[in-house]
Structure 1
Amino acid sequence: MRKLVVVNNPKDWDLDVEDVEVVDAQRYLTDPAYTEIKSARIFNLCRSYKYQSSGYYVSLLAEARGHRAIPNVTTIQDLKSQTIVRAITDEINESIQKSLSKLKSKNFTLSIYFGQNVAKQYEKLSKQLHDLFQAPLLRAQFVYNKEWILESINPIPVNEVPEHHLRDLYKFARAYFARNRFSNNRINKKIYDLAILVNPADSDPPSNDKAIQNFMEAAETLGFYTELITKEDYRRLSEFDALFIRETTSVNHHTYRFARRAHADGLVVIDDPVSILRCTNKVYLAELLTKAKVPIPKSMIIHRDNCNKVVEELGLPCVLKKPDSSFSQGVVKVKTEEELAEQLNEMLAESDLIIGQEFTPTDFDWRIGVLDKQPLYACKYFMAKDHWQIYNWEGKKKDISGNFETVPFEQVPFFVLHTALKAANLIGDGLYGVDVKEIDGKAYVIEVNDNPNIDYGVEDKFLKKDLYLTILKSIKRRIDNQKKLELS
């Protein structure tokens, strides 16, 4: 994969780095030779990314040519919106306050060169901002008003870097390009690069260690270079062709930020950000499934104005769900009006809307795995010992979850399979796990999970390693189709 530093004037970049070509913007935009390059990373160091400027077009046409641009057009647009800047950087507010706490002035400018600053004390903050806004040169402006606020973050024109910073700039650039992240040798050995996002500290991840190993082995047989990454590797996403998230997802979480950034960078992503948004909010799911006439237990969207009607609508006991609940957490059963009032007050203090459902006890829930709008596996998840849910987080360690039974499709009732597929296909064509209750010959969807469990010895008990291979083949097919579109 060729590496090109694109500048308005070659004199702007007086640094010779092995395997890195310096090209002026006009030549990159107009010379047919660059149009024909099938694989390239473009480091856009133009003086301006203003709309319809040459710098803007470098990133825009790089995307059209199937090249990877840093920054890409999405980042360029994000930098222009103060609302987006505030929203994206909100999660690092604690780091901002800590890093700038000793400053006496009311204004501060932080110059970030390839993720670093000339002052060591701002190293962490510089890296975090570069991770969020992947552009080679950035200038962050902070103001103090009771606390430090990021007022703006903008690209630094390469010709405006102070002369006394050039030595550090070139040192940072050499270190940046020298890393394995852009190694030609590695990329040429495999067809595509796959990142699998995991959390080694997670006590109950969606895939156990043996399953992750099986995913990696399946990927290798299909020609992938595969690497396990963690939340610390956000800045490395542009190295890969696809991201497979094997960490429990949530919107207000780094998993969503990874999915969003990967999707914006043109990577194939499972779970994609749209699926995460749709699946992780129970209010959205209830509305979506009801509108599509997919059977669900009797439900109501509860808010302050109708919470006095819950008993009348659902009876007691009933189930209350926080919008972003998952793996039985944030889901409670209330038996009395006193319990109901207490839980409603607590949940409505956090969210304007919550879900209430009638209590529908069963010995087990069906879990139908769905990929590419087709059934992938079927399991019965039995309730935890002496509990009404699959997971009992307050129980003894050995009793946290119930037993399971993996079932061939011919043993799954047709109405269960049909209902699960209809629900999953409303979300998209990704990898989903649909939880269904079977009651009196009818199927009722409990939820659609965007990040379903794929554990060695559980979901793979019937398909064995073919389960992993099927998922990886889907990822490869998605990349192939995307490449064809880019070249057409």
Structure 2
Amino acid sequence: MRKIVVVNNPEDWEYNTIDEVEVVLAKTYLTDSSFTEIKNARIFNLCRSYKYQSTGYYVSLLAEARGHKAIPNVTTIQDLKSQTIVRAITEELNELIQKSLSRLKSRNFTLSIYFGQNVAKQYEKLSKQLHTLFQAPLLRAQFVYNKEWILQSIQPIPLNEVPDEHQRYVVKFAKAYFAKNRFSGVRASRSVYDLAILVNPAEQAPPSNRRAMELFVSAAESLGFYVELISKDDYRRLAEFDALFIRETTSVNHHTYRFARRAEADGLVSIDDATSILRCTNKVYLAELLAKAKVPIPKTMIIHKDNRCQVTPELGLPCVLKRPDSSFSQGVVKVKDEESLQEQLSQMLLTSELIIGQEFMPTEYDWRIGILDKQPLYACKYFMAKDHWQIYNWDGKKNDTTGTVETLPMEQVPFFVMHTALKAANLIGDGLYGVDLKVIGDKAYVIEVNDNPSIDHGWEDQVLKKDLYLAIMKSIKRRLDAKKVSKNESGT
């Protein structure tokens, strides 16, 4: 992949000792038709201004239209203009900000970030994290102190405004930045697309076990993908890829959601997509959505502080309480009497204004129907963990934390189960979902729709084997092919 640094004035780029990049004037990049023909390029936009409709703005805009990878891209340029967005995006960095700036005596502080680094070692981690969130080569972050340190603004630094005393550091940081292997383009020539798979190696109960991950990679490579497993530290690298496949437990107030949102903003195909994460991971939203669509669900109640006394008359006891963002049976409790009900409600309502209450529907197993592209993919029976009312028992002994799984051919799934599952999943979108249902008599009740469903070797793949992984990778490739066709037809 060609690495092209775009500047307004040749005098702005004084780092001729860096031979890993081409330096091009902004006017040349915008007007020379030869740049339109380049198929694989990364554009490092170091123009003096990214103001709307300025030269710098158009460099990033046309880079994206040409299929080049722009840093910063237009999304980042727009984000940097909004103080509200800046604060929202950096909210999770508050602890790091307080720790990094705790020794300062002044009430104002300016942090200059050059290619992800700062001249002072003590601000290295904060600089890297801010650069990860706002991918621009040169940034200036302004902090003010009002009871605690607050990020007031973060803006690009024009190359011609870098202080003379910092120039030698910028040269050093730029050399390290441009020398990274991620910009080298040394990828198999047969690769048709680049796929990033987001994982968390430290996650105790990931959506896919190690062997399943190996099979995903193998399936993708068989279709011509270049595949790389990435972690939350690789946020700034997303623009390098064509598609993102999330295999880490998702949540809205979490980096997985930001990865999906950023991927879509950068034009990547993303499974999960941000909308699916938003809809599936909040049980309050899901309950309202399913009820409105008249999808059968257990008797359900949205509980808040003013109606907590109505739970027992409405749902009976025992009943089930769920945190809105619960997953893998965590944050879900069964209460047997009024005392434990009120105790659990008090705890849950401390962290969420609304929680979900449902009638208790005991069954020997839950159905899980995997759905992709609005079509059934796999079907399982998840049996309850030993001596427990859920399929997961996180307090159980090592070998008793989960029940057994039976995966069945589609023809063995009752029609009413499949029909109900598809109706529920299709309300969310056309991504990859796992619909959990309980069957009472001849009726199926949707418990929840999961984005990012579990796909483990030896469990969900019992029937399809390797074809399960291949089906998901083929879906990603079809989406990429469709984007390419659409792009060609639109002339961009």
TM-score under structure 1 length normalisation: 0.97
What is the distance in 2 between the residues matched to 1:141 and 1:346? Answer: 38
Aligned letter for 1:3?
A: K
Structure 2 residue matching 1:184: 3-state secondary structure:
coil
Aligned letter for 2:14?
A: D
What is the distance in 1 between the residues matched to 2:190 and 2:8? Answer: 33
Q: Which residue does the alignment assign to 2:200? A: 199
Deviations 1:208-241 (A, max 9, x none): 1100011111111111111111222222222221
Q: Which residue does the alignment assign to 1:30? A: 31
Q: Which residue does the alignment assign to 2:269? A: 268
Q: Is the 8 A contact 1:64 1:486 kept in 2?
A: no
Structure 2 residue matching 1:277: 3-state secondary structure:
helix
Q: Is the 8 A contact 1:66 1:483 kept in 2?
A: no
- Worse-superposed segment, 462-471 or 48-57: 48-57
Aligned ranges 1:289-308 → 2 under 5 Å? 289-308=290-309
- Worse-superposed segment, 454-463 or 261-270: 261-270
Aligned-residue offset at 1:199: 1.4
Aligned letter for 1:143?
A: V
Q: Which residue does the alignment assign to 1:107? A: 108
What is the distance in 2 between the residues matched to 1:43 and 1:428? Answer: 35
Structure 2 residue matching 1:186: 3-state secondary structure:
coil
What is the distance in 1 between the residues matched to 2:166 and 2:436? Answer: 57
Aligned ranges 1:143-222 → 2 under 5 Å? 143-186=144-187, 188-222=189-223
Aligned letter for 2:3?
A: K
Deviations 1:381-425 (A, max 9, x none): 001111111111111111111111000000000111111111111
What is the distance in 2 between the residues matched to 1:191 and 1:15? Answer: 34
Deviations 1:350-389 (A, max 9, x none): 1111111111111111100111111110000001111111
Q: Which residue does the alignment assign to 1:93? A: 94
Matched residues, percent identical? 78
Q: Is the 8 A contact 1:66 1:486 kept in 2?
A: no
Structure 1 residue matching 2:427: 3-state secondary structure:
helix
What is the distance in 2 between the residues matched to 1:42 and 1:58? Answer: 9
Aligned-residue offset at 1:265: 1.7
Does residue 1:11 correspond to 2:31, yes or no? no
Q: Is the 8 A contact 1:385 1:399 kept in 2?
A: yes
What is the distance in 2 between the residues matched to 1:106 and 1:317? Answer: 55
Structure 1 residue matching 2:103: 3-state secondary structure:
coil
Aligned-residue offset at 1:31: 2.3
In the alignment, structure 2 segments of 5+ residues that lack a partner are none
Q: Is the 8 A contact 1:187 1:193 kept in 2?
A: no
Q: Which residue does the alignment assign to 1:366? A: 367
Aligned-residue offset at 1:187: 6.2
Aligned ranges 1:224-373 → 2 under 5 Å? 224-373=225-374
Aligned-residue offset at 1:258: 1.7
Aligned ranges 1:369-448 → 2 under 5 Å? 369-448=370-449
Deviations 1:36-82 (A, max 9, x none): 32322111111111111111111122222222111111111111111
What is the distance in 1 between the residues matched to 2:77 and 2:236? Answer: 16
Aligned-residue offset at 1:255: 1.5
What is the distance in 2 between the residues matched to 1:187 and 1:120? Answer: 37
What is the distance in 2 between the residues matched to 1:12 and 1:481? Answer: 41
In the alignment, structure 1 segments of 5+ residues that lack a partner are none
- Worse-superposed segment, 71-80 or 10-19: 10-19
Q: Which residue does the alignment assign to 1:60? A: 61
The runs of at least 4 aligned residues of structure 1 exceeding 4 Å deviation read none
Aligned letter for 1:457?
A: G
Structure 1 residue matching 2:187: 3-state secondary structure:
helix
Aligned-residue offset at 1:19: 4.8
